[in-house]
Chains A and B, each alone.
Chain A
Amino acid sequence: EAGVTQFPSHSVIEKGQTVTLRCDPISGHDNLYWYRRVMGKEIKFLLHFVKESKQDESGMPNNRFLAERTGGTYSTLKVQPAELEDSGVYFCASSQVPGLSTDTQYFGPGTRLTVL
């Protein structure tokens, strides 16, 4: 079974440019999460999709970040315009329908974003 995949692995852009990150969850997983790790800090929640609907986007830093999951399969996270403080590793995770035995979220390898 293929795991969670993310593209690209690493992106280097200049301040003010736009970047779009992509996440493909494990097939059949309705829940898709985005997290971010800024250097020196812990991994922090950004938002959660259930199928194509945003369940919780309370962790999104500001309106320069836009996440979509059209069709309820893959998701994109766009940062426009990017700022220096957006640098970090962006992780995507997916899980099955929540239940006590399925709290486990499976993570992708992350996209390292560097804003110069």
Chain B
Amino acid sequence: EDKVVQSPLSLVVHEGDTVTLNCSYEVTNFRSLLWYKQEKKAPTFLFMLTSSGIEKKSGRLSSILDKKELFSILNITATQTGDSAVYLCAVVLAPSGGSNYKLTFGKGTLLTVNP
């Protein structure tokens, strides 16, 4: 069965700290990996990763994929209280016939940044 595992499940840090969130996967027909940030409502898209070793960066957030070791990390530097959210990792599986690019999610990491 396809599986995505995120760690830690929960993390509490102080403003200014740097955090690393982990996502490992065991899936068939890997296509891409997505990171989302979920605050109160809709998960909002952060990054899509398809190639190993190429860092994606957006402000204080960055992410990288290792397709050999089957994991990705999401780094947040100089955290702020506004970074508090659930961070979701999801893997897109290449469809075997058809065109269903469904997402398989991990449980998420709840990040709390205290002032």
A108 partner, pick from B42, B48, B98, B107, beta carbons under 8 A:
B42
Q: Which residues of B contact A56 (CB under 8 A)?
A: 98, 100, 102
A-B contact count (CB 8 A): 62
| B60 in the interface (beta carbon within 8 A) | no
**Residues of B30-71 whose CB lies within 8 A of A:** 31-32, 34, 36, 41-45, 48, 50
* Interface bin, chain B: 20 to 34
Q: How far is the CA of A100 from the CA of B49 in the complex (A)?
A: 10
Q: Which residues of B contact A107 (CB under 8 A)?
A: 36, 42-44
Q: Is the CB of A41 within 8 A of B100?
A: no
Spot the interface stretch: A13-21, A43-51, A62-70, A74-82.
A43-51
Q: Which residues of A contact B27 (CB under 8 A)?
A: none
Q: Which residues of B contact A45 (CB under 8 A)?
A: 102-104
A3 partner, pick from B36, B42, B48, B105, beta carbons under 8 A:
B42
Q: How far is the CA of A45 from the CA of B103 in the complex (A)?
A: 7
Closest 3 CB pairs of A and B: A109-B41, A56-B100, A43-B105
| A residues adjacent to B (C-beta < 8 A) | 3-4, 31, 33, 35, 41-45, 48, 50, 55-56, 59, 91, 93, 95, 98, 100, 103-110
